[in-house]
Amino acid sequence: MEIIQGVHPGKLIERDLKKKTLTQRNLSALTSIPFQTLNAIITGKRNLTTQQALKIEASLGYEVGFLAILQTLYDIKQCTEKDISTLNIQPPRIRKSLFWDTDFDTMNWAKYKKAVIKRVFERGNNVEVEEICRYYNLTQNEQYQFSFQAE
């Protein structure tokens, strides 16, 4: 579950439809969910309701509640990213040259949090690593994981 945590359930449904060689129209007929609604869910333009999740789970053989939980985890991720972006209006105090390939001043620091942390841990100096830890309020465990990945 950790691997797919924060992924929109539509992506998983789309993948499994391909595996089972089913179309969205087939799934629509099986679940009585209108095709347009199902398409919007699969493309990530619409969230999955509990009722829709139960119907799709039954049709595709998922465990009851799996897609509803996945939707909730996705919603939490979206909310968290939104909160981080409102907290961190100013970019972190690190060298702009670390992000030579992006527009440093307009970058969405919340959306690209993992990539930012990874790059600073790989290429930044100790002061910049400390700044990123402060900026994103990283726990000791998160700091350890990123430092391990950077090696």
Question: Looking at the structure, do residues 56 and 36 belong to the same domain, yes or no?
Answer: yes
The verdict on residue 17 lying in a domain is: yes
**Domain boundary, last residue among 42, 77, 112:** 77
Q: What is the chain's pLDDT, residue by residue, as a tens digit (151 residues)? A: 566 777 899 999 999 999 999 999 999 999 999 999 999 999 999 999 999 999 999 999 999 999 999 999 999 888 876 666 555 568 899 999 999 999 998 888 888 888 999 999 999 999 999 999 999 888 888 888 887 766 6
CATH of the domain at 38: 1.10.260.40
Question: Looking at the structure, do residues 119 and 67 belong to the same domain, yes or no?
Answer: no
Q: Which domain holds residue 137?
A: 88-150
Question: Looking at the structure, do residues 24 and 68 belong to the same domain, yes or no?
Answer: yes
Q: How far apart are CA 149 and CA 98, in angstroms?
A: 18
Question: Looking at the structure, do residues 43 and 100 belong to the same domain, yes or no?
Answer: no
The upper half-sphere exposure of residue 33, i.e. CA atoms within 13 Å in the direction of its Cβ, equals: 26
Structure tokens at 110: 């919340």
Phi-psi region of 150 (alpha: psi -120 to 50; beta: other; left: phi over 0): alpha
pTM: 0.57
How far from chain centre, in Å, is Cα 56?
21
